[in-house]
């Protein structure tokens, strides 16, 4: 459970820590970043809630730490931001680094059941259990009872599915350009074929936000931003309409999908709207 | 004077344009970025002031556009941000790409007089004259009579020296971790030796902020942020104390140098304080 500090960077009055630990669920050393807002240092007796940000395909913990602007909002609200990596690294599974949308940098926040990926590609358990446990043990000032989750693209899929599969575990959920219906898009079909097997379509549905929302009980206060200039949205990789429609048909209220004119799939979009997503999380973390 | 648009990216309600043009002063195609705030599109009859941001060693126009978050403050104030490149590109001068702190990516915002760099390394004229002229011709909504300047490291040197050499040209100046006394630091000595010649020390002083401030008449409302965790500050490459001391001895009032505890030389520092620098510029651009 011990954590190695690789860098400590001053950011918006707080500290961005670049950390790593030996993870058992993913069978490798995992890097991650943790932003501690100024309130951590101003009042050491104050418990600080946590927002988990799950990154998209090809990313590490660094991209959003540098370009997403979450520290701006989090520093004002007094929220720590936890940035996990997107896959195990260096497992040396044959072919894992051959594509940018599968394997390395593309763990899809599932526990693989299909060989050889079942030997370490457990990003679901890693992000839901092992990483938070490690972080809360190493940083006791963080409040394990107040955690929210958000993410981008593949990480938006991760945020939605982790939230929907674990009612009550997270205080709130939001997403940027989430892969909202992976069983019906090329990225999701490729990933789920690789991680679960082509014939395991019932298993696929267990990690599909559109399928999961059909079974959700009660209100779902989710904020989703999708740019209308997002090429992956236009190509049908994201399918937020399917999620919206399923929620509506299931009578699930509170779903807000904002189609932001001209915004693309890049971090410029996160930077623009991250304050709104921090605000959304804060509403529930400080309720 | 024509401008090529390579990309248009939605950012904080406005547009970040990635542009290029055939520059005569630097004898090559020059890339630059221009952020148009939302006010440009909301009210086409409104003239919009401009903040020029000069980047540091090794950077292009993209680094600060992605990581500096000037768009956040500029979008609120209604200020366009112009991000020039840091040197000519592709002149194929022998040796120009051999070092990261001289030549390519390191034009130092001077007009070189020393061969072979006198053949195109004219970043002073380029940033002061050709690029703004090109931009104001292509974007008539921008107000050529209201321009401020800022920059980081080598670009902080550029901002201070362009401002101090041209009284009245810019409405305000600020800087992050500027190379404040280049004639007395290794980076500056190397650059000025290469661009002016080892024996041209009087010429060197004409591009040294600490030397220039000694001759400044009147008040100088400059905001400078330097991180105490900045390794280049610790190594004596920046020397803001020399600038402060020279200003004080010359009776120049209004100089604010903030030593920010633990902040480093990276864009995390700009991101944290860019709102303050936009605010500083706005005070004079909208006076």
Catalytic residues of A: 153, 230, 265
* A117 CA: distance to closest CA in chain B (Å): 35
Which residues of chain A make contact with B37, given a CB cutoff of 8 A? none
Q: How far apart are CA B256 and CA A287, in angstroms?
A: 41
Q: Which of B14, B272, B275 has the most A C-beta neighbours within 10 Å, making it the best mutation to test the interface with A?
A: B272
Q: CA-to-CA distance for A136 and B195, rounded, in angstroms? A: 54
- Nearest-by-Cβ selection for A272 from B12, B263, B269: B12
Specify the pLDDT at position B8: 98
Do A12 and B272 make contact, defined as CB atoms within 8 angstroms? Answer: yes
Share of chain B above pLDDT 70, in %: 100
Average pLDDT over residues A139-165: 98
For A182, the token pair is 């992976």
Does the pLDDT at position B234 exceed 80? yes
Residue that is written with structure tokens 């009147």 in the block: B218
Q: Which of A282, A286, A175 is nearest to A222 (CA)?
A: A175
pLDDT band at B80 (very low <50, low <70, confident <90, very high): very high
Burial class (CB in 10 A: 0-12, 13-18, 19+), B34: buried
Are the beta carbons of B268 and A69 separated by less than 8 Å?
no
Residue B121 DSSP label: -
| Mean local confidence (pLDDT), B74-100 | 97
**Which ipTM did the prediction report?**
0.95
CA distance B231 to chain A (A): 12
Minimum CA–CA partner of A73 in chain B:
B272
Band (B138; pLDDT cuts 50, 70, 90): very high
Q: Is B265 a catalytic residue?
A: yes
**How many whole angstroms separate alpha carbon A126 and alpha carbon A56?**
16
d(CA B212, CA A5): 43
Q: What mean pLDDT value characterizes chain A?
A: 97
**Active-site pick, B21, B230, B274, B277:** B230
Separation in Å, CA A88 to CA A24, A26, A131, A160, A258: 11, 6, 13, 21, 32
Res A1 pLDDT > 90: no
Question: Which of B10, B261, B268 lies nearest to residue A9, judging by beta carbons?
Answer: B268
Q: Give me the residues paired with residue B175 across strands.
A: B224
Q: pLDDT band for position B57 (50/70/90)? A: very high
| Whole-number Å distance between alpha carbons of B129 and B136 | 11
CB A87 within 8 A of CB A56: no
pTM as predicted: 0.97
Evaluate whether B162 touches B129 at the Cβ level (below 8 Å).
Answer: no
Inter-chain CB proximity B66 and A66 less than 8 Å: yes
Chain B residues touching residue A269 (CB < 8 angstroms): 10
Q: Which of A66, A261, A263 is facing B67, going by the closest CB pair?
A: A66
If pLDDT is split at 50, 70 and 90, which confidence band does B111 have? very high
Each residue of B263-284: pLDDT tens digit?
999 999 999 999 999 999 999 9
Q: Is the pLDDT of residue A23 over 80?
A: yes
CATH number of A3-286: 3.40.50.1820
Collapsing DSSP to helix, strand or coil, B264 comes out as: coil
Confidence of residue B1 (pLDDT cuts 50, 70, 90): low
**Which pLDDT band, with edges at 50, 70 and 90, does B202 fall under?**
very high
Q: How far is the alpha carbon of B198 from chain A, nearest alpha carbon, in Å?
A: 38
Q: For A110-123, how does the pLDDT look when each residue is reduced to its tens digit (9 = 90+)?
A: 999 999 999 999 99
Segment A190-232, tens digit of pLDDT: 999 999 999 999 999 999 999 999 999 999 999 999 999 999 9
B72, closest residue in chain A (CA to CA): A272
Closest CA in chain A for residue B261: A10
User: Average pLDDT, whole number, for chain B?
Assistant: 97
């Amino acid at each position: 459970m011990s954590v190695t500090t690789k860098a400590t960077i001053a950011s918006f009055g707080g500290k961005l820590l670049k950390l790593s630990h030996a993870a058992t669920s993913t069978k490798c050393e995992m890097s991650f970043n943790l932003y501690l807002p100024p309130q951590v240092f101003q009042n050491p007796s104050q418990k600080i809630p946590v927002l988990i940000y799950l990154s998209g395909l090809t990313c590490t913990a660094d991209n959003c730490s540098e370009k997403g602007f979450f520290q701006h909002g989090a520093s004002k609200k007094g929220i720590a931001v936890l940035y996990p990596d997107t896959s195990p690294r260096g497992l040396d599974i044959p072919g894992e680094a051959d594509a940018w949308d599968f394997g390395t940098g593309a763990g899809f926040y599932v526990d693989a059941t299909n060989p050889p990926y079942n030997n370490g590609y457990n990003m679901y358990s890693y992000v839901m259990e092992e990483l938070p446990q490690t972080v809360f043990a190493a940083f006791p000032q963080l409040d394990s009872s107040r955690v929210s989750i958000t993410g981008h693209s593949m990480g938006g899929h991760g945020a939605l599915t982790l939230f929907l599969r674990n009612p009550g575990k997270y205080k709130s959920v939001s997403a940027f350009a989430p892969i909202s219906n992976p069983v019906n898009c090329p990225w999701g079909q490729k990933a789920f074929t690789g991680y679960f097997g082509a014939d395991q379509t019932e298993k696929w549905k267990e990690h599909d936000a559109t399928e999961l929302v059909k079974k959700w009980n009660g209100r779902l206060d989710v904020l989703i931003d999708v740019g209308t200039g997002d090429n992956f949205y236009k190509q049908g990789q994201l399918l937020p309409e399917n999620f919206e429609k399923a929620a509506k048909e299931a009578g699930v209220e509170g779903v807000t999908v904002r189609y932001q004119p001209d915004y693309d799939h890049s971090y410029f979009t996160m930077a623009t709207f991250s304050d709104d997503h921090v605000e959304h999380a804060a509403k529930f973390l400080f309720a």
